[in-house]
Chain A
Amino acid sequence: MYHSKSTKYKALLFIAPFLACFLIFWLAPVLYGIWISLNDYKLSMGNLGFVGLENYKTIFDTGSVYHTQFMNALKNTFVFMAISVPPLVLISLGLALLIDNLPSKLKVFFRTIFFLSYAISVTAVSAIFLWLFNANGGFVNNLLMTMNITNSPVNWLTEQPYAWFVVLISTVWWTIGFNMLLFVNALDEVDGALYEAADLDGANSFKKFLYVTLPEIRNVAFFVIITTVIASFNLYGQTMLITNGGPARSTTSLIMNINHTVFSGNQLGIGSAMAIVMGVIMTVVTGLQYWANLKINSDGPKRKRKGRSKKSEDPALVNAPLPYQVDGKETMKK
């Protein structure tokens, strides 16, 4: 019914407002950004002329300092991605499951607590962790030393792997609420009847999670993973303000390096080229994730069908109208 030709144009109507905003405020600036990356563009002096792919050559020229810094930052960014994505996804899922199993009165309270830190700006988050983990008499070191866990202060910010640890823990603390909220939303969507059916099958909690919950929240989990990978790739404020890229540039991230090239180094052209290379790398990484997701989808249809079949076999679900349906009909009649 809604595949007719007239709805095709209607569809365009629905998309048009977003499309307009996207074209003007994203695509046009990006195209211009690509143009800048093909020019010798200084932030202060403006365009000094077309140089073709020269800026890109600079980034890939092994003798160039821009190359050394870019590759170092790329490596650091991948390190951070590797150490941050698993905890950011798993801990947030764990928190969401925990909240989902709490009595409903307490749900709101704990959901608010775990989301609170997301409301704070990165500047403040960094200031907090910078002072908490100050090696010389900071709160954490004092705590560890009074509890006799360590007898000499840990150089949290000036030694690896501690510096990564602080960056990681501040990131987890700061951003976990967002992922958690998405999982809470998703768990909320899971039909209670499915759990009841699993209970009748005698499934334990772990099996219920594996065979009922997980298939139902797959789409959201995929979304969370993709956005977390992208967010980790965009690491900036925490390393900028907590470790200042140190010790010895080991936490300098790509965005930090690009911003530095543009703002302090004045090289808007080279910086734009770096950002576009970064975007391409990121697109490839995201594409791989999509491909992996598709592959898992096609490799594991059995499990999925099993989950679905349970749903349709449940007589209560097949025969009774869905609660939303009832609601939808009633509200529309008004």
Chain B
Amino acid sequence: MRAKKIKTIILVAVASILAVMFIMPLVWMIFTSFKTLGESMSSSALLPKNWTLINYINIFNGTSDAKMILWSLNTALVTALGTTLVIFVDVLAAYALARLNVAGKKLFLGIVVIALTIPGIVTLFPAFYLFRNFGLIDTYAPLILPYSAGTLGVFLIYNFLRSFPRELEEAAYIDGASQWQVLFKVIFPTIRPVVTTLGVITFLAIYNDYLWPSLVINSNEMKTLTLGVATLIQGSNFVNPGAMMASTVIATVPALLIFIWANKYFVKGVTNSGIK
């Protein structure tokens, strides 16, 4: 028992040291966001000598073009719908591939993997022309829909389901459950951690995307937070580490809250912990 305790203490200590190393760049980022332009460029000290809110003030109301609230609303809408869509289509497809008798399943799986290997630049402009031809430039459609074509989620969930025993679904069928019931009552709870993972990475992918939104969005009112903030601070001839870090802090906080909120879904519910 004592040996186990010592082992735990050592593990916690190691984890803490690693955590400090991981968190260091973030701490540096936060402190830099409170430095003046001159100081952020001239000194590499961790703490600001003169604390300033100027970087935040500039982003929120310094320039007339900053529409932070509107951009945040756009981002909320786009990420929520986009992520939901991805989870919906991916879970259904992965379930069918892993459990049902799909014609041409091997071919389909092959395509799913090959799709991962084709770089995005191939589809960037064709997809742009597609939306332009349908008159959907500068609307929410291109900000939401294209992410659903990603195959990573299907591949991810398929891999989890594959290693998961079928016995319990079979038992459910014996009990007379329908396919949909099995999907929602048996499959979904068991793959919830991995669906949460998919949800979080999809959310972050949409949230942090810059290149695609910058191509399909023209008006200031339709910008996402990432695009809008980038427009404010990324001049080709302008470098301000403090402003950059401040914008990152602002952009990261919502993502962080989502992640902390999603935390409880990352691990399986009570059912599993009972056996451990």
Contacts and interface: CB of A to CB of B under 8 A. Distances in A.
Interface of A: 1-3, 7-8, 10-12, 14-15, 17-19, 21-22, 24-26, 28-30, 32-34, 36, 43, 95, 98-99, 101-103, 106-108, 110-124, 127-129, 131-132, 134, 137-139, 142, 173, 178, 181-182, 184-186, 188-189, 191-193, 216, 218-220, 222-223, 226-227, 230, 233-234, 254-255, 258-259, 262, 268, 271-272, 275-276, 278-279, 282-283, 285-286, 290, 321-329, 331-333
> B interface, how many residues as a size bin?
35 or more
A99 B181 CA distance: 34
Contact of B123 (A18, A33, A128, A189): A33
A25 B121 contact: no
Contact of A102 (B8, B156, B197, B263): B8
B126 interface: yes
Given A30-B122, A111-B266, A15 B102 contact: yes
Given A15-B97, A102-B15, A124 B248 contact: yes
Nearest to B267: A188
A220 B43 CA distance: 44
A228 to B, nearest CB: 12
Interface in B109-142: 113-119, 121-123, 125-127, 129-130
A185 B271 CA distance: 15
A30 B126 contact: yes
Interface stretch (B51-59, B60-68, B73-81, B166-174): B166-174
Contacts of A271: 121
B150 to A, nearest CB: 8
B84 interface: no
| Majority-rule SS of B interface residues | helix
A80 to B, nearest CB: 15
Contacts of A118: 201, 204
Contact of B251 (A124, A142, A193): A124
Contact of B89 (A1, A12, A17, A222): A17
17 contacts: A2-B173, A7-B101, A8-B101, A12-B102, A18-B93, A21-B145, A25-B148, A29-B122, A112-B263, A113-B19, A118-B201, A124-B245, A138-B44, A193-B275, A219-B162, A279-B119, A333-B175
Interface of B: 8, 11-12, 14-15, 18-19, 22-23, 25-26, 28-29, 32, 43-44, 46, 85, 88-90, 92-93, 95-97, 99-103, 108, 113-119, 121-123, 125-127, 129-130, 145-146, 148-152, 154-156, 159-160, 162-165, 167-169, 171-173, 175, 177, 179, 181, 185-186, 189-190, 193-194, 197, 200-201, 204, 208, 210, 226, 230, 234, 241, 244-245, 247-248, 251-252, 255-256, 259-260, 263, 266-268, 271-272, 274-276
A12 to B, nearest CB: 7
A220 B163 CA distance: 9
Nearest to B161: A219
A210 B15 CA distance: 22
B44 A178 contact: no
Contact of A134 (B44, B88, B121, B152): B44
B193 A101 contact: no
When A and B form their complex, which 10 residue pairs have the shortest distance between CB atoms, in order from nearest?
A: A282-B117, A14-B96, A124-B248, A25-B149, A29-B126, A18-B93, A26-B149, A11-B100, A21-B148, A32-B126
A22 B122 contact: no
| Majority-rule SS of A interface residues | helix
B117 A283 contact: yes
Contacts of B96: 11-12, 14-15
B260 A112 contact: yes
Contact of B266 (A110, A123, A185): A185
A333 B276 CA distance: 26
Nearest to A220: B159
Given A2-B179, A21-B149, A173-B25, A15 B117 contact: no
Contacts of B234: 123
A113 B23 contact: yes
Contacts of A128: 25, 28-29, 245
Of the listed residues B113, B123, B181, B190, the one surrounded by the most CB atoms of chain A closer than 10 A to its CB is: B123
A106 B12 contact: yes
B177 A36 contact: no
B129 to A, nearest CB: 7
Given A11-B96, A26-B123, A185-B160, A114 B272 contact: no
B155 A15 contact: no
A120 B252 contact: yes
A259 to B, nearest CB: 6
B255 to A, nearest CB: 4
A262 B113 CA distance: 25
Of the listed residues B44, B155, B201, the one surrounded by the most CB atoms of chain A closer than 10 A to its CB is: B44
B149 A119 contact: no
Contacts of A185: 160, 193-194, 197, 266
Contact of B19 (A114, A191, A278, A333): A114
Given A7-B179, A17-B89, A223 B155 contact: yes
A116 B173 contact: no
A35 to B, nearest CB: 8
Contact of B122 (A12, A106, A114, A275): A275
